[in-house]
Amino acid sequence: MAMLEIEELNAWYGASHVLHGLSLAVEPGEIVALVGRNGAGKTTTIRSVMGLMPKATGSVRFAGTELLTLPAHARFRLGLAYVPEERRIVPGLSVRENLQLGLLAAGGRIDERAAIDEIARTFPRLKERLDQQGVTLSGGEQQMLAIARAMIAGPRMILLDEPSEGIMPVLVEEMGALFRRLRDEGVTLLLVEQNVEWALRLADRAVIIDQGEIVHSSSAAALLADKAIQERYCAV
């Protein structure tokens, strides 16, 4: 069974129809790169999966469970986490509290201290700043915090919306290593990226979206080698 299976997805912002019958499957334990030019519908696809679109039809199944009929908050409890493009570090909260937000849904079933210790080992930069306000972190650190918050409760799959955007190259490399490690531990990743080269080197498979439809699907290596298709659909 696919981890995430999207079929005939249509989505609207008010009257504007943005996704047109999009279908896409992500198998357990793989990294799929979802690329496409600005405004193609990448964020909308993720937002539909997360239940954040005002209107979406079709079918989205996560590990066999239909999501479109569930309230938005049900997804995280099924093991589906999301790192939004804007990171959404909550103002007024410390780094530690932002991490704790990722543990709320577990309702005490996860030992908070142990989980934060473990996440601090993965993200040493956060460890030194646990009691600092989250919004005072640098952009890269905020991105790390958003990823840490999404993975602290041990999700089965993470949707990442342009995690490398505006981040120093060394941090991007660190992030790549982290994503590989997560995949090796069995976590499934859907990676939306504008940094196509980087994403394709990391991913197992690649999917291109254009004007709300999937227009190409192949192994990541094949797309990496095919400059013509990249030019056609991913050039800014």
Partner 1 sequence: MDAELIAMQLFSGVALGAILVMVALGLSIIFGMLGVVNFAHGALFMVGAYAGLYVATLTGSFWWGLLIAPLAVGAFGMLIERVLIRPLYKRSVDDPLLLTFGLGYVLVESVRIAFGNEGMPFPTPPELSGVADLGIGYFPIYRLFVVGVVAVVLVLLWLGLEKTRFGLIVRAGARDPQIMRVLGVDVAKVWLMVFGLGVGLTALGGVLAAPMRSVDPEMGALVLAEAFVVTVIGGMGSLVGAVVAGLLIGIAVSMTALFAPEMATIVMFALMALVLLIRPQGLFGKPGRA
Ligand X SMILES: Nc1ncnc2c1ncn2[C@@H]1O[C@H](COP(=O)(O)OP(=O)(O)OP(=O)(O)O)[C@@H](O)[C@H]1O
Least Cβ distance, residue 53 to partner 1 (angstroms): 12
Is 52 a residue that touches partner 1 (CB under 8 A)? yes
Report the residue number, 13 or 201, with the smaller CB distance to ligand X.
Answer: 13
- Contact partners, residue 132, CB within 8 Å, separation at least 6: 94, 95
Sheet holding 31-35, edge to edge: 80-83, 157-161, 188-192, 31-35, 205-210, 213-219
Q: Which of 5, 22, 24, 36 binds ligand X (CB under 6 A)?
A: 36
Region from 43-51, 109-117, 193-201, 218-226 binding Mg ion, contact rule CB under 5 A: 43-51
Residue 43 binds to Mg ion (criterion: CB under 5 A): yes
CB of 94 to ligand X, least distance (A): 29
Structure tokens given for 5: 């299976």
Q: How far apart are CA 129 and CA 132, in angstroms?
A: 5
Minimum distance, C-beta of residue 95 to partner 1, in the bound complex (Å): 13
Closest CA to 55 of 104, 111, 12: 12
Cβ-defined contacts of 176-180 (< 8 Å, 24+): 176/201, 176/202, 178/122, 178/147, 179/31
* 195 scored as a contact of ligand X (CB under 6 A): no
Question: For ligand X, which is the closer residue by CB, 44 or 188?
Answer: 44
- The minimum distance between CB 97 and partner 1, in angstroms, equals 6
- Using CB under 5 A, which of the segments 15-23, 42-50, 134-142, 148-156 binds Mg ion? 42-50
Q: Is 111 in the site for ligand X (CB under 6 A)?
A: no
CB of 43 to Mg ion, least distance (A): 3
DSSP 8-69: EEEEEETTEEEEEEEEEEE-TT-EEEEE--TTSSHHHHHHHHTT-SSEEEEEEEETTEE-TT
Residue written as tokens 């952009």?
A: 139
Residues that bind Mg ion (CB under 5 A): 43
Residues that bind partner 1 (CB under 8 A): 50-52, 71-77, 81-82, 84, 88, 90-93, 97, 100-102, 104-105, 108, 149
